Amino acid sequence: MVENYSCGKGLILCFQPLKIFAVANTYTQLHIQFVFAVKYRAALINKIWNDKLHGYITGIIQNYEHKMLQINSMPDHIHIFIGMRPHQSVSALMQIVKSESTNWINENEFCAFPFAWQKGYGAFSYAKSQVHNVIRYIQNQEKHHSKQNFLDEYRNFLNAFEIDWDEQYIFKEPE
């Protein structure tokens, strides 16, 4: 199925059709939160168009037959929480989401200069019993970030999930 999204500048065809074949006796329950930043953590995601961005990314996720559970962004980063099907790798999905949304933002000239996501992302998995709390956490990003900046939040995720990380590879500070 090809998803279409209109942003006021005409209709945009955003994806190629995708055929997914079910595999007998394959049962999964994968809840993944993705977190990634605008390049150099520049505050470029504007409230004027962030709902359109959320809709566009939701279309990408749904086109690949995953389930969008929650999406929200701050000016310098985004949280995407999905129910993921096992037919696609995390890295392949993130490559598509980041490249397609970058192209869409630039084609619609939402920023005065070229937009880009920073390299890399965080992907954190959750049990079904945690889904409601994660959704609520993502919905309340503005309130949360009045108390904690993005880099501290990201470091806390990495530590809470016991991920080995190196400060030199953490999302860069704004220049």
Identify the CATH number of the domain in which residue 141 sits.
Answer: 3.30.70.1290
Domain for residue 50, yes or no?
yes
Angle of helix 50-63 relative to helix 90-107, nearest 10 degrees, comes to 140
Indicate the burial class of 1 (C-beta count within 10 angstroms; 0-12, 13-18, 19 or more).
exposed
- Give the residue among 104, 109, 132, 118 at the shortest CA–CA distance from 172: 118
Element (H, E) at 67: strand 67-74
Q: What is the residue-level pLDDT of the chain in tens, covering all 175 positions? A: 444 544 444 444 455 555 565 667 788 899 999 999 999 888 999 999 999 999 999 999 999 999 999 999 999 999 999 999 999 999 999 999 999 999 999 999 999 989 999 999 999 999 999 999 999 999 998 887 888 888 888 888 888 888 888 887 776 665 5
Domain for residue 48, yes or no?
yes
Domain for residue 121, yes or no?
yes
8 A C-beta contact, residue 169 and residue 119: no
Domain for residue 17, yes or no?
no
Number of domains present in the structure of the chain: 1
- Give the residue among 141, 76, 79 at the shortest CA–CA distance from 111: 76
Statement: the pTM of the whole predicted model exceeds 0.85 = no
Cα 106 to the chain's mean position, in Å?
17
Specify the DSSP class assigned to residue 138: H
Domain for residue 11, yes or no?
no
Q: Which residues pair with 12 in a beta bridge?
A: 5
- Give the residue among 171, 49, 175 at the shortest CA–CA distance from 107: 49
Domain for residue 20, yes or no?
no
Range of the domain at 77: 28-88+112-146
8 A C-beta contact, residue 39 and residue 76: no
